[in-house]
Amino acid sequence: MTKGHSNVAYQVMWNRLISVVEEQAQALVRTAFSTSVREAGDLSAGAYDVQGRMLAQAVTGTPGHVNAMADAVAHFIRRIARDNIFEGDVYITNDPWEGTGHLHDITMVSPSFHRGKLVGFFACTAHIVDIGGRGFGADAASVYEEGLYIPIMKFAERGRVDETLVRIVRGNVREPDQLIGDMYALATCNEIGHRRLIDMMEEFALDDLNDIASFVLENSRRATIERIAALPRKTATGEMTIDGFDTPITLKVKVSVHEDRIVSDFTGTSGLDKKGINCPLVYAKAYACYALKVAIAPEIPNNAASLAPFEIKAPINTIVNAIHPAPVALRHIVGHFVPDTVFDAFDKIVPGLVPAEGAGCLCNFQVSLRPRTDAPAPENARRSEVLTFNSGGSGARPEHDGLNATAFPSGVMTMPVEATEHAGPVIIWRKELRPDSGGSGKLRGGLGQYMEVGAREGHEFDIQAMFDRVKHPARGRRGGGPGAATTIVQDDGTPMNGKGKQFVPHGRKVMMAFPGGAGYGDPKDRPVELVKRDLERGYISAETAANDYGLGASDIAAVQAAIAKGEAVK
């Protein structure tokens, strides 16, 4: 082992390691087949020491993937067994409880050898469009219905791919070329990380990563505990209600600040749902840790040590600790509301730090297109699976407005219309910001979006709705107003459900309005110039400017006149 590097040298290596995993993630973005990875960044990448402890994570990716994957590599080491780990191996799973929460995420882990010696691991995760079964949606009653299960196993041994596994996967999914392409992309991105790591080790004359791992983990642990120690020793509870599938769900948490850790206990949270919105603890833990970390230590790099002081507890078979064989396909719906629940408690411990509630879960939907069955279909009609990620508005922050159509807490990007329409015979007729959807406040909530979706001539489709906030919109903080609720109907007025697979006949469109984030502070305290700016930009209507913010009729008329003339509002 090479000894004697200075702290400055170790800091340089640490930064270099973060650059290595970012290049690893970007390689996955460039080579992935699924639009959810290429366009939305629904992925994660990281480097680990020989014990399976996460040393660095890529900035590109989602907290749910990254923080859940932080626990995954130890499972891989245990399942594969150390004496069965060889140079050139690649391991794979989509186990919801030992991976990242549902079957639609594939995690790959690759051991990294230097001069014939195991020095660490690289891991990456990507959401794939189809894994068979019922498809991506909440309709299943158990995990067995939700798709093909791949236990922790070898995708490749000593560089040779398991072709039997590949054939099994191909025979069980709707988009086999796309999925197998994604699997190879995952393996390749780990290989890119390995090559860059070896370059770094050669440059700094490292025989192993033990010393740099100690430096990274000890400094991260100490910095995080210092932040926790500066907080008041208090306990507070948070609670929120979300739509659920058929019946509302209550999320409850008690957050307790200790000298060297923060404990979040979800006792009192609703039990399992009969449909696939249940959340394994690994995913709920990922977002609970994320919420606290961004609140008190956002600039400390994410790794095993900086996450360790955040302890998460939940009784078995609550909806945030679903165990096998509970259906978990849409575990993100509950998981994405965990931060707002934690913030509700933490705001009572350290006021003025956390944002108002936002849209929460992603506004995803998947369209399963096929030739029309009510009349002869054209010869070029085809079957296709198209998944699109979209966002409502984020909640207003103590010093800033909420962000429009921005995914918090997931950080997943909204997919461009062009990429969605390229993936299959789907048409996005409308995609634009939704005025008046952001909650009123001294700081305004972020706006949601309007979307209208249909199919090309000759096709009908099923739409898998994955929405929440239909009946329980985002709540404001410190006197701020609520965000707008989600709506979904067909263009002939036929009502639709916020969750579940629903048939849309040939020629029909689905009209969706995604939720807005809530406001922060009393709307009457919002500066007049900001109200005028919002009115000029179309973020709010004249009625909202008058009724919620108290903007006078003469000011409203002046803004409207300036808009009509194409002049800047004064």
Residue 14 belongs to a domain: yes
User: Where does a domain end: 221, 256, 288?
Assistant: 221
Report percent pLDDT > 70 for the chain: 99
Residue 286 belongs to a domain: no
Residue 321 belongs to a domain: no
User: Where does a domain end: 186, 221, 256?
Assistant: 221
197-254 residue pLDDT tens: 999 999 999 999 999 999 999 999 999 999 999 999 999 999 999 999 999 999 999 9
**Same domain flag for 496 and 395:** yes
**Same domain flag for 515 and 534:** no
What pLDDT does 5 receive?
78
User: Which ranges constitute the DSSP H helices of 303-349?
Assistant: 304-307, 331-335, 338-349
Lookup: tokens for 255: 């957050």
**542-561: average pLDDT:** 95
Range of lowest pLDDT (57-66, 517-526, 527-536, 539-548): 57-66
Lookup: tokens for 312: 């998460």
Residue 270 belongs to a domain: no
186-213 residue pLDDT tens: 999 999 999 999 999 999 999 999 999 9
Q: How confident is the model at residue 162 (pLDDT cuts 50, 70, 90)?
A: very high
**Same domain flag for 542 and 431:** no
Residue 277 belongs to a domain: no
39-56 residue pLDDT tens: 888 999 999 999 999 999
Cα(66)–Cα(127) distance, integer angstroms: 12
**Same domain flag for 498 and 393:** yes
What pLDDT does 1 receive?
37
For 4-31, give one letter per residue: b (16+ CB within 10 A) or e.
ebeeeebeebbebbbebbbbbbbbbbeb
**Same domain flag for 558 and 488:** no
**Same domain flag for 37 and 75:** yes
Contact 526, 544 (CB under 8 A): no
Which amino acid is located at 248 in the chain?
A: P
Cα(487)–Cα(496) distance, integer angstroms: 9
User: Where does a domain end: 165, 196, 221?
Assistant: 221
**Same domain flag for 399 and 481:** yes
Q: State how many domains the chain has.
A: 3
Q: Which domain holds residue 560?
A: 527-570
**Same domain flag for 24 and 127:** yes
260-317 residue pLDDT tens: 999 999 999 999 999 999 999 999 999 999 999 999 999 999 999 999 999 999 999 9
Query: Which secondary structure element, helix H or strand E, spans residue 504, and what is its range?
Result: strand 499-504
**Same domain flag for 454 and 552:** no
**Same domain flag for 444 and 568:** no
Residue 509 belongs to a domain: yes
**Same domain flag for 515 and 400:** yes
Q: Is pLDDT at 2 greater than 80 in this prediction?
A: no
326-370 residue pLDDT tens: 999 999 999 999 999 999 999 999 999 999 999 999 999 999 999
Residue 142 belongs to a domain: yes
**Same domain flag for 517 and 554:** no
Residue 337 belongs to a domain: no
| Full DSSP string of 188-231 | HHHHHHHHHHHHHHHHTT-S-SHHHHHHHHHHHHHHHHHHHHTS
Beta strands in 258-363 (DSSP E): 262-265, 310-313
